Amino acid sequence: MIAIIDYGVGNLRSVEKAFQFLGYEAMTSNDKDFIQKADAVVLPGVGAFADAMSSLKTTGLDELVYQLIDSQKPFLGICLGMQLLFDYSEEGGNPEGLGILRGGIKLIPDRGILKVPHMGWNKLTITKENQLFKDLPVDPYVYFVHSYYLEAADRDNVIGTTTYGIEIDVAVNKGNIYATQFHPEKSGEVGLKILDNFGKIAYKKLI
């Protein structure tokens, strides 16, 4: 079972349905026991960083995330779910994140040329070979919806970038932690392949 953490933010069911379309058992839940027993866990999300952190702390799901990471369970953060794994965000007064990975979430600079928020398809530049991107086409395009971007402190963790006025870190991996700024569940065949790769990582089917 792949558990999708429900902490009161949007974009949960679309992730669940994408995994189910691929043939995986997946369920959205805020039940801690259920999530702990899952084979793999997804932290999705759209919305405000500070509100999301407040929701995680109020429900105690922040402590659950730490436990899941420590247990070496395959873990996937998507969009806001990726950002929350880092130290802080410039959104809403520099709230602290979970601090599991080093780096900050910063506002995409408005230079009067490109629109903010960044919404739409951009090329994913794969910077490091990784199981999450196994068998993807050359120069794949993926779908983004965000105003803030990751600046990772540990460059070894970055496995994908894109360019939107500036170069942006959009995919990371450290041990059992995988995360993307873009939305795989909205990224067509490329996104489904990424989710399928995560499913195969979870069930040790990648070779």
8 A C-beta contact, residue 105 and residue 148: yes
Of 25, 118, 183, 189, catalytic: 183
8 A C-beta contact, residue 104 and residue 157: no
Task: For residue 185, indicate whether it is catalytic.
Answer: yes
Of 16, 91, 146, 185, catalytic: 185
Of 79, 91, 118, 146, catalytic: 79
Phi, psi of 181 (to 5 degrees): -75, -35
Task: For residue 183, indicate whether it is catalytic.
Answer: yes
Longest dimension (CA), the chain: 48
Return the HEC string of 38-60: CCEEEECCCCCHHHHHHHHHHHC
Task: For residue 118, indicate whether it is catalytic.
Answer: no
Could you give the residue numbers annotated as active site?
A: 79, 183, 185
